[in-house]
Amino acid sequence: MASQNGNEELPAPWKEAWRSFCKNKLAVVGLGIVIFFIILAAIAPLIAPYGFKEQELSNRLLAPSGEHWFGTDDFGRDIFSRIVYGARISIWVGFFSVLASAVIGTILGIVAGYYGKWVDTLISRIFDIMLAFPSILLAIAVVAILGPSLQNALIAIAIINIPNFGRLVRSKVLSVKQEEYIMAAKAVGMKDTRILFRHILPNSMTPIIVQGTLAIATAIIEAAALGFLGLGAQAPTPEWGKMLADSKQYLVQAPWTLFFPGLAIMLTVLGFNLMGDGLRDVLDPKMKQ
């Protein structure tokens, strides 16, 4: 709806949700952290003093200083520069893996919840089988089949998160399809695809948004875990988990080589978790008084 001066305004429910979100100080802090790392990733070439591949063996394992803010690693590479470029990788993997799993999981969940019967049984059993395995073990199995690389790690993370979105959407569809307006749409002969994507899907978006925000944090951790195990990003890619793996033998000699990549992972995950909790509190009717 447009205001009298012609400017676009948010619909009233979203304006109220934004006000409620802003009242949650921890959620605002989380949003600030997320925005900070997104900006950091976007302007990495402008603020990184060195290239992430740039080596200088005479400067290996230097402590933090004015020249190298976070110190250097065992190849003499500037850790600050690698962390800045690594933000691009972690956010890219987190966002696109969750986007893929959300799209596939949502489609499967809608189909299972709306049509029911054997379709629901088949899809639900597939979800149950996938959820029977610890997520990281399933991701390791997928990467072992496809081969270790950043792209295959992204595919693995997307696959293991599909059941989470699928079951969430299925439960939402089971309740939405019993609403009177859905019954009326069926009665007038509206096609199933139109009912699904014009009525059921829009009314199921709230839990998907919340789950997606929290899933990005999980995906970043999973990508770091695969990188740490040598199954994700390969050298010299500045992925935070891979940086931890390469520096673990220098824990006593050069602890900064582990501290700063670990801090970057912790802060990014914390930001998405705090923001996701805030969105859940605002958008989930069960959380409201």
- The percentage of the chain sitting over the pLDDT mark of 70, rounded to a whole number, equals 93
Specify the pLDDT at position 9. 54
- The percentage of the chain sitting over the pLDDT mark of 90, rounded to a whole number, equals 40
Name the CATH superfamily housing domain 33-40+84-236+265-287: MetI-like (1.10.3720.10)
Kindly tell me if the per-residue pLDDT of 6 is higher than 60.
Answer: no
Distance CA 175, CA 28 (A): 32
Residue-wise pLDDT for 245-287, tens only, equals 888 888 888 899 999 999 999 999 999 999 988 888 887 655 4
pLDDT band at 42 (very low <50, low <70, confident <90, very high): very high
Distance CA 132, CA 29 (A): 35
Residue-wise pLDDT for 179-194, tens only, equals 777 777 777 777 777 7
Domain ranges of the chain: 33-40+84-236+265-287
Specify the pLDDT at position 103. 93
Q: Average pLDDT in the 88-113 region? A: 92
Residue-wise pLDDT for 48-59, tens only, equals 898 888 888 888
**How many residues are there in the chain?**
289
Q: Is there a contact between 268 and 281 (Cβ–Cβ < 8 Å)?
A: no
Specify the pLDDT at position 97. 93
Specify the pLDDT at position 284. 65
Sign for the pseudo-dihedral over CA of 109, 110, 114, 115: negative
Which residue, among 288, 115, 150, 276, has the nearest Cα to 223 in the 3D structure?
A: 150
